[in-house]
Structure 1
Amino acid sequence: MELTSERLKHAILGEAAVKLRHTPYSILDDETFVVMEESEAMYVPDLGVGCGLISHVEDPELVKKSGRMFGFWGTDSTRNSDRVFIMEHFYKNAKVIEFENLAEFRAPTSKPRIHTMPYNWGGTGHLVLNDCIYFNRFNTSNIVQYSTIEKKIVNEVEIRDAAFGNMAPYQWAGSTDFDLAFDECGLWLIYATLQNSLDIVISKLNLETLEIETTHRTNWRKQWSGNAFMACGVLYVLKKYDEKYTSLNYIYNTHTDTYKYVDIPFTNAFEWNTMVDYNPRDKQLYCWDKGHQLVYNLSMEASDAL
């Protein structure tokens, strides 16, 4: 069906998003894309830290099996610190568990530190940066920054027009409408809007204020995605979260505002991978797969090699 009215299209999208929830649907726009030379389209600057495009993802290394089926784990991406943070489940939880280092996290018994957030979080797309915990406040379009030093919220910003409340999650739902990411280029938010037909939107956030600085609108439906992450200013989409042998199948380059379909093999060792984060400190992926905490080593090549 062709919708000649932009207003009608958004009205239908809005009603469908509320009524259908997790039922797949789509309205395709007839748009003409400018085809660029591949080397130009996929150019990624080195940024002085060996940036490029991911060419290979190694098999995962098991760090530990702990916690619930769903969750977040990671380290502070901006501090030279070994502290490990755990945020179990995707809702009805506000307790962040902090371990002094990886050895303490792996130990059968330990005495971790507990941080209690003022609100429950939604999803598993959290971050820890500069001694602060960043998360989406459950069932809202608000991004919260909580200082573990000051023990209080230092920023809370509403992301206007963003879909929330499981309107635009990843494939497995779980209130994953928002996914925070940090890479060599800064702080990002991966989400979706009705204005972009519930396709993925990538916004770069100011580290101090959480205000949106730049926005990139992709042509890839967020609910088609098993998960996603940012590395060197490039969005990578995981095809499936619940198949052992899958792939990274779509990339979007924010440096050139161009996209490409790829096939980079990826293994979900326990076939229920509900969190994928890139850490620029060690250039590894951190994943939470069916209650198992994993890391993946990556290979990057010059940006015209993929």
Structure 2
Amino acid sequence: METTFGVWMQDAAERLNDNHIWMAGHFSGRVLQEYKSIASFPNGRSIDMRKFYQGCGHIIYNGSVYYHNAGTSKVVKDNLKTRRLQTLAIEDALYHNRTYLFHNSKTYFKFAVDENGLWLIYASAISGTVMVAKLNHKRFSVSSVVSTPYPVPNAGNAFVACGVLYLTDTKDTKVTHAFDLMKEKPLNVSLDLRSANGIMAMLSYYPENQLLYMWDNSYVKICQAYFTLDQKSLVKCCGRK
């Protein structure tokens, strides 16, 4: 890739299985690039998102792109087919003055998708800890909020898989902490993820094929996720070519 920061996305909805790829090529801007497949890269079309995004926490889900509206406490749902734009204000969240959720990627809000649907990870302006909201994607509303005890300064990045929040260390080299969002309790985990070189701007889990996508050191990389037989916890992550 040409930039240190960016987001590489496919539609994370399990029921959708096409080859389309979307890319946002920095931690701020208002243009989304769409490609029909990896074979068409880098010849795609530009989509005006109409609002400026901030960070590398966007995601595509059920035909809509979700992102943080820069400089505000609002997140946005933009239906890429109808171009209907919806906004949702998140109360008591950090969203400006460089008080990032994930400092490495300049991200205040991180969307995540797992086998249970759509989530939003953000930093509490009250406790300074990581918060996770379960979102109703159809209504674009908050269904519930889980407060974790994990301090924001200790988090490098995060994703949700099988109902568990996984957090990396500040250099994004290991998955060092897990929190069961259903039972609201911490889990023990320590998994190698990447080398300490450069910046990892994006980390997203795709439940359809249990892959982790990373924008790592200006490369897009794929990492296979392996779980216990009961799918309750992640046991290994390893690279795939």
Query: TM over 0.5, yes or no?
Result: yes
> Greater helix percent: which structure?
1
Q: Give CA-to-partner distance per residue, 1:133-165, whole Å, 9 cap, x none.
A: 110000111110111112341x11111111111
d(CA) in 2 for partners of 1:305, 1:96: 32
Aligned to 2:164: 234
Residue in structure 1 matched with residue 57 of structure 2 by the alignment: 125
1:208 aligns with 2:135: no
| TM-score for both structures, normalised by structure 1 | 0.71
Residue 61 of structure 1: aligned partner = none
Q: What is the Cα deviation at residue 223 of structure 1?
A: 2.3
Q: Which amino acid aligns with 2:224?
A: N
Shift in Å, 1:304: 7.5
Matched with 1:72 is: 7
Match of 2:108 among 177, 181, 184: 177
Residue 224 (structure 1) aligned with residue 154 (structure 2): yes
Q: 1:85 aligns with which of 5, 22, 36?
A: 22
Distance 1:150 1:305, change over 3 A: closer
Q: Does residue 29 of structure 2 align to residue 98 of structure 1?
A: no
Checking the alignment, whether the CA contact within 8 Å between 1:181 and 1:188 is kept in structure 2 is: yes
Q: SS where residue 250 of structure 1 aligns?
A: strand
Which has the larger displacement, 179-188 or 232-241?
232-241
Structure 2 unaligned blocks of 5 or more: 236-241
Q: Give the total of aligned pairs.
A: 230
Q: Which residue of 2 aligns with 1:284?
A: 211
d(CA) in 2 for partners of 1:81, 1:305: 26
Change beyond 3 A, Cα 1:158–1:305: closer
Specify whether residues 209 and 271 from structure 1 end up closer, same or farther in structure 2 by C-alpha distance, changes over 3 A only: same
How far is the alpha carbon of 1:209 from its aligned partner? 2.0
Amino acid of the residue matched to residue 24 of structure 2?
A: M
In structure 2, the residue corresponding to 1:70 is in which secondary structure?
Answer: coil
Provide, for residues 65-106 of structure 1, a one-character-per-residue CA deviation record: whole Å limited to 9, x for no partner. x13100100201112111011001111x1110011112223x
Q: What is the identity, as a one-letter code, of the residue corresponding to 1:123?
A: G
Scaled by the length of structure 2, what TM-score is found? 0.90
Tell whether 2:120 aligns with 1:193.
no
Aligned to 2:238: none
Deviation at residue 271 of structure 1 after TM alignment? 2.9
What is the one-letter code of the residue matched to 1:206? Answer: N
Deviation at 1:240, TM superposition (A): 3.3
Q: Distance in 2 between matches of 1:251 and 1:298?
A: 15
Where does residue 300 of structure 1 map in the other structure? 227
Report if the CA contact (8 A) 1:84-1:100 is conserved. Answer: yes
Q: 1:269 Cα deviation (Å)? A: 7.3
| Percent of aligned pairs sharing the same letter | 27
**Structure with higher strand content:** 2
Which residue of 1 is the match for residue 239 of structure 2?
Answer: none
Q: How many Å apart are 1:235 and its aligned residue?
A: 0.3
Unaligned ranges ≥5, structure 1: 1-65
Higher relative contact order (CA 8 A, sep 6+): 1
